[in-house]
Amino acid sequence: MKPLLLAALALAVSPATSAQAEGPSLKERFETLDEAGDHAGVVALWKEHPYEVLYVIDSYLEGSLQIVETEESPDPAVLRSMHERALRGARAADEAFDRGIFTDYAASFVGWNAAEQKNFRAGQAAFGAARQAMGAGDHEAAAAHGAECAALAEPLGDWWGLGMGLSAQGGSLAEAGNAAEALPLLARARHIHHQLGLVGSEYGNLRSMIELCAELGKTDRALVTLDAALALAETLGDGDGAAALRARRAQLSE
């Protein structure tokens, strides 16, 4: 069974759960609490919605960059307000989940200069090119574009982009039959996505890793990875995926 790379890449840039449709209302709830200075309330809100947090925080970061890119004379006060809100949301997220990645991601983003902002967009374009190449069956080009995305994202502190690039590179190498090189890339992507709460992307990484581990004779790791994927299948409500994973577990356990 080959990894379902295109599906995994789609998850990497798409809302992961049905609750994501509540994004705007969640954002409004966050803003109400934030404007009241209720940090504890924001922490509690994030704990209730662990898989939508990054989307809300990123809306202020991406939104501010869009203003810079489209307005001739952006208002520094508006940008500063968006950045500060993103940072407050990120600090609450790190407190809610005992992590540090949200604050690092947000602080990195708000500190980019013009050249770094262009590199961020270039990384996004490289990821898009990787998806296109994979759709055309060009695994070599897809892997190269994925590597470019990761190389651009990492020095920026763009953890989300790094996870996307690693997923594209590792998944493409897996499709090309290079399991040994693909596995560590996808494993790293999985951990980044887990830290960011990107459950759909993490699920795609895990599904790919199961077969790579099996192919490399790492049965114990394949089973542990499978169990993690099964837990996420249930979180995502993927009944068909859960059934397939249970059947695969029975095969691997023989």
Tens of pLDDT along 198-235? 999 999 999 999 999 999 999 999 999 999 999 999 99
Max intra-chain CA distance, the chain: 65
CA 57 to chain centre: 13
Tens of pLDDT along 99-139? 999 999 999 999 999 999 999 999 999 999 999 999 999 99
| Residue 24 pLDDT grade (very low, low, confident, very high; cuts 50, 70, 90) | low
Residue 158 to residues 98, 168, 192: CA-CA distances in angstroms?
Answer: 19, 15, 11
What would the mean pLDDT of 28-33 be, rounded to a whole number? 96
- State the Cα–Cα distance between residues 92 and 99, nearest whole angstrom: 10
What would the mean pLDDT of 185-200 be, rounded to a whole number? 98
- Give residue 194's pLDDT: 97
For residue 11, pLDDT over 70 is answered with no
- Give residue 73's pLDDT: 95
For residue 21, pLDDT over 60 is answered with no
For residue 14, pLDDT over 50 is answered with no
| Residue 254 pLDDT grade (very low, low, confident, very high; cuts 50, 70, 90) | confident
Instruction: Check: CB of residue 9 under 8 Å from CB of residue 204.
Output: yes
User: In this structure, what token pair is assigned to residue 58?
Assistant: 């990123």
